[in-house]
Amino acid sequence: MDKRTFIKTGLIGVAAFYASGFTAKGLNPLYSLKPRKNKDGFIQPPLPYAFDALEPYIDTETMKIHYSKLHAAYTMKFNDITRQLGISSKPAREILSEVSKYTELLRNNGGGYLNHLLFWNVLSPNGGGMPEGKLHDAIIGSFGSFDNFKSQFDTAARSVFGSGWAWLIFSEGKLKITATQDQDNPIMDISKDKGFPILCLDVWEHAYYLKYQNRRTDYINAFWNIVNWDFASKRYDLALRRKMA
């Protein structure tokens, strides 16, 4: 192999490695929901696109407030509380998996921190359409058709009373749709449906009120245009790998 071919092959290999969800330090922490930390604690990673990138489905002002004010506040409070409790060295996922041991304040802010971390990556300006490959087959296998899946997810999202989230999770070897109140999530030990989150939708009014006011259904319909199926597929691959482990 000459030098040029060697470099080219190497670059293709690196690109494929990153595209598979890995970084030089291992699996991209966003896919595994293992956010990196710095000296101040859990970090709020940068939004993976511009504030206006999800227009016209989610408006710029909502994204600015949602990310810069609300998610930032959950991150700061989660760090404060975990420091006070002396558990800041634990992974966020581990803390939430035993959240019944802690206060409601930690439950709300820890959930708010991790749920939004996932949510930003579930969305993409290049999203929409349908998943491919294993996730597509699993959705058809679990729900009969993609339309049935969407319809059940929509119902879960519409049915949340007040504030909460709709979820597609991997639970006991199959895909399942569920919903949680406030900032609870299916990782938490207090959740009625526990599982590995693949997809989520924030149905707090702060996620849509500026553009959609009380029309939550319009917001849910818009969501399908910006779902990052590539990200969801990588989460599903992770779920399968964990099951095998």
Interface with Fe ion (CB under 5 A):
202, 204, 207
Least separation in angstroms between residue 74's CB and Fe ion is 8
- Report the alpha-carbon angle 127-240-178, nearest 5: 65
Q: Which is nearer to Fe ion, 154 or 202 (CB)?
A: 202
Least separation in angstroms between residue 78's CB and Fe ion is 14
Which residue of the chain is nearest Fe ion when measured via CB? 202
In contact, 202 and 119? CB cutoff 8 Å: yes
Q: Which is nearer to Fe ion, 198 or 207 (CB)?
A: 207
What SS3 state is found at 227?
Answer: strand
Phi, psi of 182 (to 5 degrees): 50, -125
Helix (H) / strand (E) element for 176: namely strand 174-181
State the Cα–Cα distance between residues 109 and 93, nearest whole angstrom: 13
Least separation in angstroms between residue 173's CB and Fe ion is 30
What SS3 state is found at 42?
Answer: strand
Q: Which is nearer to Fe ion, 204 or 229 (CB)?
A: 204
First to last CA, the chain: 37
State the Cα–Cα distance between residues 18 and 6, nearest whole angstrom: 18
Least separation in angstroms between residue 50's CB and Fe ion is 18
Q: Which is nearer to Fe ion, 30 or 118 (CB)?
A: 118
Least separation in angstroms between residue 118's CB and Fe ion is 11
Q: Which is nearer to Fe ion, 22 or 67 (CB)?
A: 67
